Amino acid sequence: MFNIFGNNQSSNNGRNNGNQNTPNQPREDVLIELKGIQKEYKTDAGPFLALKGIDLKIKSGEFVGVIGKSGSGKSTMINMITGIDRPTAGEVWVNGTPIHKFSENQMAKWRGTNMGVVFQFFQLLPTLTVIENVMLPMDFGNKYNPRERREKALDILALMDVDSQADKLPTMISGGQQQRVAIARALANDPPIVVADEPTGNLDSKTAAQVFELFQKLVEQGKTFLMVTHDDDLAGQLSRVITITDGQLDHEDHRPVQKIVPHSQNGSKPESESEEAQLEEVS
């Protein structure tokens, strides 16, 4: 059974025991809440209001997509939730913690264990090997004993099917492999929340679908996912998609969850319906 860390985060006090394939239903508790978020950037042409009062609630166990035109404010909003940037006004609450009140140091420490961040352009450290990149947040997070970090990192890399690349530098592997390493790094400290800004933006459609399928499985295990995407195919497979227009939440789409089937390279459906078979094609 697909479970990275050997614990079952989607455990719901014994219900669904014996049926691990039951999709995790979002629980009613609000995990992430934005209240009246505004973000003003100072520009040469004067102040620019990139976020104009965002109110958003995300429940534990949800997989939420964020779409919108280029420049609409998606990354700016994501950066508020990860604490990588600060709101000019408003509040950001994550799991009952007002993270907008944190100092830089508090924020970095908190993020290290509570939130996995996947960047659009990977942002792997070029002078560290693949496995060192994944171990780095473990060193900061202090969740795992130093002696077990390498093994843990290898396990997560194996999950992403890039463990064979562990001792290479990021420049020596393909873009798709780098993206999967970046995802492995985001998962290093087993964070309950993963926030990904266009994580599949540079992947071919087949690899994008496979990465998306991995995300789906992590959500089934109990993680909460927020994913910016320009990919209509992927967004169309999410049960909740929010649209940002000119710095404001425009509308939400709610749909029944569909089964994800990775597309083959030419966009046609694969002949085999076996997820394992599809996952094995990743490398």
Ligand X SMILES: Nc1ncnc2c1ncn2[C@@H]1O[C@H](COP(=O)(O)OP(=O)(O)OP(=O)(O)O)[C@@H](O)[C@H]1O
Residue ranges binding Mg ion (CB under 5 A): 74-75
Question: Which does residue 121 touch among Mg ion, ligand X, none (CB within 5 to 8 A, set by kind)?
Answer: none
Question: Which does residue 268 touch among ligand X, Mg ion, none (CB within 5 to 8 A, set by kind)?
Answer: none
Query: In the chain, where do the E strands start and end?
Result: 30-43, 46-59, 63-67, 89-94, 97-98, 115-118, 193-197, 224-228, 240-245, 248-254
- Minimum Å gap between C-beta 180 and ligand X is 21
Contacts (CB under 6 A) with ligand X, residues 44-63: 48, 50
- Minimum Å gap between C-beta 132 and ligand X is 29
Q: With contact defined as beta carbons under 8 Å apart, do 157 and 166 qualify?
A: yes
Residue 102's nearest CA partner among 78, 88, 79, 83 is 83
- Minimum Å gap between C-beta 224 and ligand X is 21
Q: With contact defined as beta carbons under 8 Å apart, do 99 and 164 qualify?
A: no
User: For Mg ion, which is the closer residue by CB, 77 or 159?
Assistant: 77
Q: With contact defined as beta carbons under 8 Å apart, do 142 and 126 qualify?
A: no
User: For ligand X, which is the closer residue by CB, 12 or 120?
Assistant: 120
d(CA 3, CA 141): 21
Quickly tell me which residue has 């499985």 as its tokens.
217
User: For ligand X, which is the closer residue by CB, 76 or 207?
Assistant: 76
Question: Which does residue 50 touch among ligand X, Mg ion, none (CB within 5 to 8 A, set by kind)?
Answer: ligand X
- Total number of residues that touch ligand X (CB under 6 A): 12
Residue from 7, 41, 121, 273 binding ligand X (CB under 6 A): 41
- Minimum Å gap between C-beta 75 and Mg ion is 3
Residue from 21, 43, 171, 266 binding ligand X (CB under 6 A): 43
Residue 215's nearest CA partner among 58, 62, 113 is 62
Residue type, 70: S
Quickly tell me which residue has 């077990």 as its tokens.
148
User: For 263, what's the count of Cα atoms within 13 Å in the CB-facing half-sphere?
Assistant: 13
What SS3 class is residue 157?
helix
- Minimum Å gap between C-beta 184 and ligand X is 23
- Give me the 65-104 binding string for ligand X, x by CB under 6 A, dash otherwise: ---x-xxxxxxx----------------------------
Q: With contact defined as beta carbons under 8 Å apart, do 281 and 215 qualify?
A: no
- Minimum Å gap between C-beta 32 and ligand X is 17
Residues near ligand X (CB under 6 A): 41, 43, 48, 50, 68, 70-76
